[in-house]
Amino acid sequence: MTLIACKECGTEISTKASACPKCGAKVPKTKWWLWVPLGLGAAFLMFGAVVGSSPEAQEKSQERRAIDLCWEEQKRKSFDAGTQRFVAGACEMMESKFTQKYGHRP
Ligand SMILES: [Zn+2]
């Protein structure tokens, strides 16, 4: 049980009480849901730490993501044929670099 000071009169009241016994002011409840995003964030970070435990694995997944993004970009309709070819060339270069570095395709 935790005791907090009433914000109205300063009387120590239990956090389990819904109102101050002396003045009747409402006891502020802990907003537990405020911790939900924090908890999720921490879980996500922990998950990331387990999956990408080695810096090499992290780098690898980052490079793979960059290649994915590159191809996504390449498929963009707003590019003309010449630009698409150029971007495709850049993506292929990234892919071949990846293949050389890790011994397999991304
Ligand atoms: Zn009070």
Question: Domain for residue 80, yes or no?
Answer: yes
Question: Domain for residue 39, yes or no?
Answer: yes
Q: Give the tokens for residue 5.
A: 């000071």
Instruction: State the amino acid at position 23 in one-letter form.
Output: C
CA of 59 to the centre of ligand 1 (A): 57
CA of 31 to the centre of ligand 1 (A): 20
Nearest to 98 by CA among 62, 54, 49: 62
Question: Domain for residue 15, yes or no?
Answer: no
Question: Domain for residue 62, yes or no?
Answer: yes
Question: Domain for residue 50, yes or no?
Answer: yes
Q: What is the reported pLDDT for 103?
A: 86
CA of 2 to the centre of ligand 1 (A): 16
Question: Domain for residue 73, yes or no?
Answer: yes
**What's the structural domain count of the chain?**
1
- The domain of 85 spans 34-102
Q: How far apart are CA 29 and CA 37, in angstroms?
A: 18
Query: Is this model's pTM higher than 0.85 or not?
Result: no
Q: What is the reported pLDDT for 106?
A: 80
pLDDT under 50 in the chain at which residues? none
